[in-house]
Amino acid sequence: MEKNYHAVSGYVFVFVEFFVFALIILGFMRGMAIPAAVLIVVFIFLAVGFTIVNPNESAVLVLFGDYRGTVKKNGFCWVNPFFTKRKISLRARNLDSEPIKVNDQIGNPVMIGVVLVWRVNNTFKAAFDVNDFEHFVTIQTEAAIRKLAGLYPYDNFEDHEAEITLRSGGEEVNEELEKEVTERLAIAGIEVMEARINYLAYAQEIAQAMLKRQQATAIVAARFKIVEGAVGMVEMALEELGQKGIVELDEEKKATMVSNLMVVLCGDKEATPVVNTGSIY
């Protein structure tokens, strides 16, 4: 359990040190070598207790294995010289993880990298509940990425019923990542300020195949829209011709007209018109 330690102002003991130093000089001047030597030891002992706590920094104090508290108030202070002092930064830090290979919900290998903004919130847990809290953040973030990848597919090409995917999930996926990382880092007294996916791609061994698949899917989707629009245009043309009585077409000619319009509207290349100067029959 973290507890605050109220350290004595270091400037008070600076005056004490000056006083001891003056006694040392006076002792040597009067030939009192032994008392002066003792005062030198006292002077050095008191000097060990000085410490500086910078803004957004803390000092964890331990006395012979017993946690005595954490100094969070910045400034020049003095503590028991027998205290072991460990400085822990309370500043926000960035972790830009290298993309790691994981398997998504369907089993496809994907590469995911994240950006994590974190800071130490509980110095006791950071100092004593884990061996190295910075290394702990890195390892647990990777574990959270692996778990997150198993919850969602990369995209919905194979799972058309998937509403949330890693690629299109956006805020929902980032919130799930932040929640997972927060739960894992709580044991080390770490506060997660933000967690976001900053790199997402298929693994190299399947990237080319998946790219071709995406291109084919895009082409099919585009063709579907083109055909859907062409059918509507042909239907509208036949209705307009029939309502305005411009030309009377039998079923055979309607089929021919539909075929020609579909070829023109759905073709990959621009159609070259052929002008018929004779009878349409």
pLDDT at 217: 65
DSSP character for 127?
Answer: I
User: Domain range holding 185?
Assistant: 93-202
Q: How far is CA 40 from CA 35, 50, 114, in A?
A: 9, 16, 55
Same domain as 161, residue 138: yes
Tell whether 277 is covered by a domain.
Answer: no
Please state the pTM of the whole predicted model.
Answer: 0.70
pLDDT at 124: 94
Three-state SS for 47?
helix
Q: Among 36, 57, 87, identify where a domain stops.
A: 87
Same domain as 164, residue 184: yes
Amino acid at 10: G
- Nearest Cα neighbor of 199 from 167, 228, 225 is 167
Same domain as 65, residue 102: no
Tell whether 75 is covered by a domain.
Answer: yes
pLDDT at 92: 94
Average pLDDT across each block of 10 residues of the chain; the chain has 281 residues. List them in order.
89 92 88 87 92 93 93 92 93 91 85 93 93 93 90 70 73 90 93 91 68 65 70 72 64 68 64 60 54
Same domain as 115, residue 14: no
pLDDT at 261: 66
Q: Among 87, 115, 143, identify where a domain stops.
A: 87
Tell whether 273 is covered by a domain.
Answer: no
Count of domains observed in the chain = 3
Three-state SS for 190?
strand
**Partners of residue 94 on adjacent β-strands:** 117
CB atoms closer than 10 angstroms to residue 154: 25
Tell whether 133 is covered by a domain.
Answer: yes
CATH number, domain at 185?
3.30.479.30
Q: Are strands 57-63 and 190-202 parallel, antiparallel or unpaired?
A: unpaired
Tell whether 127 is covered by a domain.
Answer: yes
pLDDT at 186: 93
Same domain as 140, residue 83: no
CA 188 – CA 200 distance, rounded (Å) = 28
Tell whether 43 is covered by a domain.
Answer: yes
Query: Taken in order 205, 209, 215, 220, is the CA torsion positive or negative?
Result: negative
**Partners of residue 114 on adjacent β-strands:** 197
189 half-sphere exposure, CB direction, 13 A CA radius: 19
Same domain as 133, residue 54: no
Six-digit token pair at 9?
A: 């102002």
